[in-house]
Amino acid sequence: MLNLTPRYTCTRIDELPAALQPLAAQSFTLARLYAGRGITASDELETGLSGLLPAEMLHGVTEAVRLLDVAIDEGQRILIVGDFDCDGATSTALMMRALTKMGAVVDFLVPDRFKYGYGLTPEIVELGIQTYKPDMIVTVDNGISSHDGVARAQADGITVIITDHHLTTKETPPAEAVVNPNQLDCHFSSKALVGVGVAFYVLGRLAKLRREAGKSSVQVSQYLDLVALGTIADVGVLDKNNRILVHHGLSAIRQGRCSLGILALLEQAGRDPKQLQAQDFGFVLGPRINAAGRMDNMRIGIECLLTDDWSTAQRLAQELEQLNRTRRHVEGEMRAQADNIVQALATANSNANNDADESDETLIQPKTEKSAIDNQNRSIILYQDDWHQGVIGIVAGRLKESHYLPSIVFAPADTERTGADDAIKGSARSIAGVHIRDAIEQVAERYPDLISHFGGHAMAAGLTIKRRNFDGFVAAFNEVMAQMDDKVFAEQKFTDGPLQAADFSLWFAEHLANASIWGHGFAPPIFDGVFEVLSFKILKDKHLKLSLRYPDVQYPIEAIQFNFDSSAWDYRAEKVHVLFQLDINEWNGKQSLQLMVKELALVKETVEESE
């Protein structure tokens, strides 16, 4: 049987929170799902825009709005400085669309990740001054650590407004206004806003101010498609506030009330906007936008989101599609190399541990690359000279998922190797219980000379070090990991428990998908149960197709597990314990219920009895 952790245990309606009991009379399963995600009051499920937290709670928003209002009235040149990921792209596009409608003189600049790196650096300020001669710079999705960049801009008399959401434990830069729910003195109730969410709040407050003063304004809620895309693509925690934002953005796209660029990207992906789900922002749209920043320049992605011409949107979406295909190819090669390195390191470490006379060094360093995995299997840190900087975050994420370890992947800061002392940039991805940004900060505090720059979140971070400091960083990071409790590194697999027989229906699967915005922080429903095996097929030597029977269900239930290890299957199996998600399979215009199998275990007693 599978080793699973129940997310919520409840068998009777009267065991549920009182606010959920009326819902349970209609669907006990759905009420149980909400209870398992911490919902205790009915208003936590409301999706109206009136349920959003008030903008006034954001520290610095009043001053930011005042400065923007004056800048628009006086015709000051405003320069938006964005970031090169999907959150940065949607933030920039949102600022451009809304400020333009309000009558602002505005343009945007996104640093080339390969040349300038992240944030409002002095170099990007210099470029902005030379190219756009701005009176005001507004950052989106960056800037909270950009002390030097702010100083450079202010030296030329440029007003700086920072809008960001990244974590910081230091004083904020002395910009004229800083809006960030995660800055030290902000008491905004939700810390889960991503960059585009912060931009939305600033613009919404600005639009209200100008509307009340009888000035040119705009209804900023018409751009919630961009907010929804950026929020999910940046893996924002789906608290109530973010669920409301995503709900309305998703609804707008389904109705065709959205950026033409989004519709063109969906056309490239062969997806029907009317059938769009929240997870499609992260798996369909996000990667195509991100491909611009990873493989070329994010300006392509932003222009795709800005254009109001359908043919232009289609052309730019096609360019992004091609960049995404290139990204997938590069990623595939790097993932294969990374997997081979990790396997070799694990083998070498195992051999070293078995030899009591060998040195007690904890790191194995191949000659052809700088890589490490510690003997306690608590981190994976890799570097190669020919790896592509734009893809390291994805590779780190794949390693984290497959090995359930904090993973950091480095690549040269420049596209060409120019020497051992060059800067190398790392992208880190983490597991539950390891706050990766804070772990890197601990390294920086203990060894101030090791890390040049760093920043990020609990689950993802970026950093820059010198290549010569790689070994020292690995050792220092593993020191931090050694202090963690062993339980942190044991992956818990959660389940929402069994379904009732009536839940195995197309109606319930569709109702469940649309019942809420599911995602990070509001986990998509996942169930388990023991099923009788009616028949099975191995498709293309790697996919397991099953026909199953469940107690009190009068018809066979189809299930599929992709990338299944066929050697683990026993043809004599009569029963299986399955961890699954409900899905609707569409084939030849017909719909049918299908279980998407995430984990599977043979119920061994039945096999043994047949021997």
Q: What are 328's two structure tokens?
A: 């997938």
Q: Following DSSP, what letter does each residue of 545-589 receive, concatenated?
A: EEEEE-TT--S-EEEEETT--GGG--TT--EEEEEEEEEEEEETT
Give the model's confidence band at 315: pLDDT under 50 very low, under 70 low, under 90 confident, else very high.
very high
Which tens digit of pLDDT belongs to each residue from 317-344?
999 999 999 999 999 999 999 999 998 8
Rounded distance between C-alpha atoms, residue 98 and residue 18, angstroms? 43
DSSP secondary structure code for residue 504 in this structure: S
Cα 298 to Cα 366, 453, 591, distances in angstroms: 35, 22, 38
Tokens at 212, concatenated? 């009340």
Count, residues in the chain:
611
Residue type, 400: K
Residue 109 phi, psi dihedral angles, 5° rounding = -145, 130
Q: How much is the pLDDT for 369?
A: 56
Q: What percent of the chain has pLDDT over 90?
A: 82
Question: Judging by beta carbons within 10 Å of its beta carbon (0-12, 13-18, 19+), is residue 333 exposed, middle or buried?
Answer: middle
Amino acid letter for position 432 = A
Distance, in Å, from the CA atom of 554 to the CA atom of 552, rounded to the nearest integer, reads: 6
For residue 219, the model assigns a pLDDT of 97
**pLDDT > 90? residue 160:** yes
DSSP, collapsed to helix, strand or coil, labels residue 428 as strand
Per-residue pLDDT at 169: 75
Averaged pLDDT for residues 375-382: 81
The count of C-alpha atoms lying within 13 angstroms of the C-alpha of 226, restricted to the half-sphere facing its C-beta, is 31
pLDDT tens digit string along 392-433? Answer: 999 999 999 999 999 999 999 864 433 446 899 999 999 999
pLDDT for 357 beyond 50:
no
Q: Which residues contact 336 (CB under 8 A, 6 or more apart)?
A: none
Q: Which is more confidently placed, 119 or 440?
A: 440
Q: Find, among 273, 312, 266, 256, the residue nearest to 289 by Cα.
A: 266
d(CA 556, CA 571): 19
Average pLDDT over residues 534-539: 93
DSSP string across 337-378: HHHHHHHHHHHHHHHHHH-TTS--------SSSEEEE-TTS-
Among the residue ranges 173-187, 289-303, 338-352, 470-484, the one predicted with the least confidence is 338-352
> Does residue 187 contact residue 203 with C-beta atoms inside 8 Å?
no
